[in-house]
Amino acid sequence: MSSLNLDDFTDLIERPDSAVRRDAEAHRESRIVPPGSLGRLDELGEWLAAAQSAVPVRPVERPRVVLFAGDHGIAGLGVSARPAGTADRLVREVLEGGRPVSVLARRMGVPVRVVDMALDCDPASLPEDVVRHRVRRGSGRIDIEDALTLQEAEAAFRAGVAVADEEADSGTDLVVLGDISVGGTTAAGVLVAALCGTDASVVTGRGGQAIDDLAWMRKCAAIRDALRRARPVLGDQLQLLATVGGADLTAMTGFLLQAAVRKLPVVLDGVVTAACALVGQRIAFRAPDWWLAAHDSGEPGQAKALDRMALEPLMSHGVRVGEATGALLALPLVRAAAALAAELPAAADEAKGPEEAEASKEEPKAAERAPEEEPEKA
């Protein structure tokens, strides 16, 4: 039996402040540009204001990319374009600055954090700050065995919670979440199919490197077989993650839930993050209000999961490389939405001269001062 009570998250997670969101909407309606004319940027600004509990919204100044890494035993069946057990190579390339997410993050000035949960390599070959949360070396082959023991699943989940706390405590104000894995989209497909009650073929995509038809059929069969093992444990989300998830997906689920507890907004990347979010929604139904779906990667499992959570992707640009690359592309839009929500002048200022408009901006500050005390009566 696990000592971890996932039901606690239902009580711990609150929705973003609805009163603040209404204030943000009213603030937006009074701006110089008519509401709706900025499309999703209006909605983004209001979402961020509610998450921050601030009107006008504050700029996103300390975002961070967080990547959970792991190898999956199911990759040994040839369901991925990459050889099984090679996710550590991708991690090294990210750390050395050679992956797409590294290039974009460097250009945007966003730090990247990699958390090894189950890479199939010697931990001494990677930096200590990357491997210190590792639960095991590789996850089990989920079509015939559990990905993790229940104790390992609990350890991975708690590691994800700890990482979320570390980010919130360090002042991170927005997380761009992704994964580095080989075989991870297969595990994600099993979780989505199990939680949505669909067949394997409905959720099976071609992964980050577009596998051929033969590999797709192998992947579909692997998800079908793993589904048979997943369905009996659908009522226990930690057991579900132990059975067919893997250490990286389990940690990511814990991270997402604790980020919602800490009121830390998260931008989701592709099918792996969407699958973990779907498990998180099953645990705590308010949690998805803290998450933003960055883009449509083209993976059918991702589309199914986002639809179930009523999360609409911000963009559709066909990026399926993973590693939070597509999610990071949404960051400039989030920052733009925050800037527009905070800095657009009021419609009433349009007819005023520069001096009058500047004076009107100072009025709220004057109103915040405490009233002077009346002189005492003789």
22 residue type, one letter: R
Q: Whole-angstrom Cα distance, residue 292 to residue 279?
A: 16
Three-state SS annotation for 325-348: HHHHCCHHHHHHHHHHHHHCCEHH
Q: Is residue 355 located within the same domain as residue 240?
A: no
Number of domains composing the chain: 2
Catalytic residue among 29, 61, 323, 376: 323
Q: Is residue 161 located within the same domain as residue 229?
A: yes
Q: Is residue 22 located within the same domain as residue 92?
A: no
Span 69-98, pLDDT tens digits: 999 999 999 999 899 999 999 999 999 999
Q: Is residue 216 located within the same domain as residue 309?
A: yes
The one-character DSSP state at 351 is G
Domain range for 248 is 63-335
Q: Whole-angstrom Cα distance, residue 305 to residue 291?
A: 13
Q: Is residue 317 located within the same domain as residue 200?
A: yes
| Residue 350, pLDDT score | 54
Length of the chain: 378
Q: Is residue 102 located within the same domain as residue 176?
A: yes
Adjacent-strand bridge partners of 178: 67
Q: Is residue 233 located within the same domain as residue 267?
A: yes
Q: Is residue 117 located within the same domain as residue 135?
A: yes
Q: Whole-angstrom Cα distance, residue 104 to residue 124?
A: 28
Residue 11: inside a domain, yes or no?
no
Residue 2: inside a domain, yes or no?
no
Helices (H), the chain: 8-12, 18-29, 40-52, 87-96, 100-108, 128-131, 150-169, 184-196, 200-203, 213-230, 237-244, 247-261, 271-283, 300-309, 325-328, 331-343, 354-368
Residue 374: inside a domain, yes or no?
no
Of 3, 1, 13, nearest to 281 by C-alpha is 13
User: Which pLDDT tens digits describe the chain residue by residue (378 residues)?
Assistant: 567 999 999 999 999 999 999 999 998 888 888 888 899 999 999 999 999 999 999 999 999 999 999 999 999 999 998 999 999 999 999 999 999 999 999 999 999 999 999 999 999 999 999 999 999 999 999 999 999 999 999 999 999 999 999 999 999 999 999 999 999 999 999 999 999 999 999 999 887 777 889 999 999 999 999 999 999 999 999 999 999 999 999 999 999 999 999 999 999 999 999 999 999 999 999 999 999 999 999 999 999 999 999 999 999 988 888 899 999 999 999 999 999 999 989 987 555 555 554 554 444 443 333 444 444 443
Span 90-112, pLDDT tens digits: 999 999 999 999 999 999 999 99
Q: Is residue 36 located within the same domain as residue 94?
A: no
Largest CA distance in the chain: 96
* The model's pTM: 0.90
Q: Is residue 201 located within the same domain as residue 80?
A: yes
**Would you call 145 a catalytic residue per the annotation?**
no
Span 143-185, pLDDT tens digits: 999 999 999 999 999 999 999 999 999 999 999 999 999 999 9
Residue 8: inside a domain, yes or no?
no
Q: Is residue 355 located within the same domain as residue 225?
A: no
Residue 1: inside a domain, yes or no?
no
The phi and psi torsions of 181 (rounded to 5 degrees) equal: -155, 160
Whether the Cβ atoms of residue 88 and residue 137 lie closer than 8 Å to each other: no
Q: Is residue 148 located within the same domain as residue 28?
A: no
The DSSP annotation for 36-69 comes to TTTTHHHHHHHHHHHHHT-SSPPP--SEEEEEEE
Assign residue 171 the CATH number of its domain.
3.40.50.10210
| Residue 247, pLDDT score | 98
Distances (CA, A) of 307 to 139, 154, 208, 223, 363: 28, 28, 21, 20, 45
| Residue 368, pLDDT score | 38
Q: Whole-angstrom Cα distance, residue 148 to residue 81?
A: 24
